[in-house]
Every structure is written in C-alpha cells, then in structure tokens.
Amino acid sequence: MYQEWMITIPPLTGPEERRAYVYVPDAAFTDGELRFPVLYMFDGQNLFADADASFGKSWGMLKYFTEHNVPVMIAALECNHHDEGEPCGGRLSEYSPFDFFDRRWGDIRGRGKLTMDHIVNEFKPFIDEHFPTRPDRENTFIAGSSMGGLMTLYALSDYGDTFSRGAALSPAFSFAPREVKDMIRRSDWTDKVLYMDMGEREMRGARARARFGEITSLLVKQGARLVSRVVPEGIHSEITWERQIPFFLPTLLYGFDER
C-alpha cells in the first residue's frame, strides 16, 4: 500500500502544507499480526513517482519494494521548495545541521535540528500509531541523498537513540566539512550501521576524493559498522541513486534474516 496526505510543520513553514508519504508492504494486509521496520527518508517527493519528483526522475522506491517484496515500510516528508532567501528558508536550510555560506544564496541558517525534532517527536509517533511498525530503535532506519545524506549522518550522530542504521548517498560534505568531522567525532558510532557512497563523477579533483576518504576513515575510527563505496561513473542524480538501492538496502537489513 502506498499512501500520501498533507501535513504542516509549524516551526519550519507555519501553516503551509506539504505531502507526507508512506509505503506499507502488501503482507500487512494478509497477516494482520505482522509488524515492519521503518525506513525514514528525506525528499519524499523524489522517492516514488516521476511525476512528483523535483527533476522529473524518482528513485523508483515503490517499484523496487513491491517487485522484491521488501519487508520494510517507508515513511517520508516532502522537502521545502522555497528559495533560500525567503523568510521561511528553503531545502538547504531545513536539511543542514549547521550554518554555512552558499555562493548563490549567501549565509544559510541551518535548521536541521528543527527538521529532525519534528521527524522524531511528531512524524514518527504518528507513523507508529497508525501503521504496523516495529517502533524500537533497532527497527528504525533513515536515508537520504545530497543534503538528505548529510542529514542522515546528523540523525545517526545526534539522534542515535531513535535511529540505528542509515544510508547516506552522495552526502553534501562540501558545505561545512569541518563541522561534519566534528559532528562525527563527538558521537559514539560503535552500534550504528551506515552505508555511504559518492559517485565517481561527483568527486572532481583530489580534494573531493581526499575529503570522502577522510570522513570514511573517521567513521571507521569512531567504530561505525560502515560500508563505503565510490560508485563507478556515478553522478549527483536520482538516476544514480536509484541504481544504488540493491547496494544500500542489504546493508540496512544485514543480519535481520538471522533473528
């Protein structure tokens, strides 16, 4: 079952509505006793249908999960589509844990904490109340790409009592690399599972490759159960991220068939 409805996030965009999305495996309707892990994702508009996607191409999550009978729910929220210069900010602001400077928009006020507080304190309790979830930490995952990948790292770093596993595809390190490293250093990663990748064609130059290697190394030093990949010919696009589903999903589900 795939469902969408309208919500508001008052601390971020006041009374303005945006879409919420959920996918529930069909098995839930043949066996009412089943409960499922939940994968929370950023940029919900880009996950399921090309018609809704910001750039006309979705991840194809609905198609993949239904065709492969993946025993996991997906819950997601649409991103903020406003320009960063508007009073309510935009996607960069909502999906950054830090303040930073952007060449196009200037100074960006990071409101990632407000975003995560809403997911953890409002959205997740609603999903747990209305859908057949396994609400505990071990069955609660998070994933995203670009700024959503950065937010995935933030969620595992600072909200690790809620999320145990995550997938950060093409995470946006370049905006605030020092802050990203400090965030990782201050968190205990020993019981957290992370899939992280970067497209080969995204990492133009030695500096970008070195940064990805440094953050990979730091996560290992901090004890993360990490899968880190450079995606051959990968670009910063839903086209590439869709192709990584068969790679990041087994990482999130590793060991679940042994329970």
Provide the residue ranges of all domains of the chain, joining segments of one domain with +. 2-258
Inform me whether the pLDDT recorded for 256 exceeds 90: no
For residue 203, report the phi and psi dihedrals to the nearest 5 degrees: -95, 70
For residue 156, report the phi and psi dihedrals to the nearest 5 degrees: -70, -35
Two structure tokens written together for 133: 């979830």
| Rg, C-alpha atoms of the chain | 17
Interatomic CA distance for residues 167 and 156, integer angstroms: 10
Q: Report in angstroms the alpha-carbon separations of 73 from 25, 67, 105, 190, 225.
A: 6, 14, 36, 25, 23
> Residue 29: its pLDDT value, please?
85
Predicted confidence (pLDDT) per residue in 60-110, tens digit: 999 999 999 999 999 999 999 999 988 888 999 999 999 998 888 889 999
Two structure tokens written together for 92: 């960069």
Predicted confidence band of residue 52 (pLDDT cuts 50, 70, 90): very high
How confident is the model over 151-178, as a mean pLDDT? 96
0.95 surpassed by pTM? yes
H helices present in 53-205, as ranges: 61-67, 91-94, 112-118, 124-130, 147-158, 177-185
How confident is the model over 100-123, as a mean pLDDT? 94
Interatomic CA distance for residues 1 and 233, integer angstroms: 34
Predicted confidence (pLDDT) per residue in 147-159, tens digit: 999 999 999 999 9
For residue 243, report the phi and psi dihedrals to the nearest 5 degrees: -70, -15
Calculate the average pLDDT of the chain.
Answer: 95
Q: Report in angstroms the alpha-carbon separations of 232 from 159, 201, 229.
A: 31, 8, 9
**Closest of 5, 250, 47 to residue 148, by C-alpha:** 47
The larger pLDDT score, comparing residue 42 to residue 88, is at 42
How confident is the model over 170-183, as a mean pLDDT? 95
- How many other CB atoms sit within 10 Å of the CB of residue 57? 14
What is the arrangement of strands in the sheet containing 2-8, beginning at the earlier edge strand?
Answer: 2-8, 17-23, 73-77, 38-41, 140-145, 165-169, 193-199, 225-231
* One-letter identity of residue 241: W
> Residue 185: its pLDDT value, please?
97
Inform me whether the pLDDT recorded for 53 exceeds 90: yes
> Residue 258: its pLDDT value, please?
44
> Residue 257: its pLDDT value, please?
59
In percent, how much of the chain has pLDDT > 90? 90
In DSSP terms, which residues pair with 75 in a beta bridge?
22, 40
In percent, how much of the chain has pLDDT > 70? 99
How confident is the model over 136-156, as a mean pLDDT? 98
Place of tokens 């999130």: 252
Dihedral of CA atoms 230, 75, 11, 180 in degrees, nearest 10, equals -20
Yes or no: say if 148 and 40 are a contact pair by the CB < 8 Å rule: no
Q: What share of the chain is helix, strand, coil (3-state, %, to 5)?
A: 40, 20, 40
> Residue 41: its pLDDT value, please?
98
Give the CATH class of 2-258. alpha beta
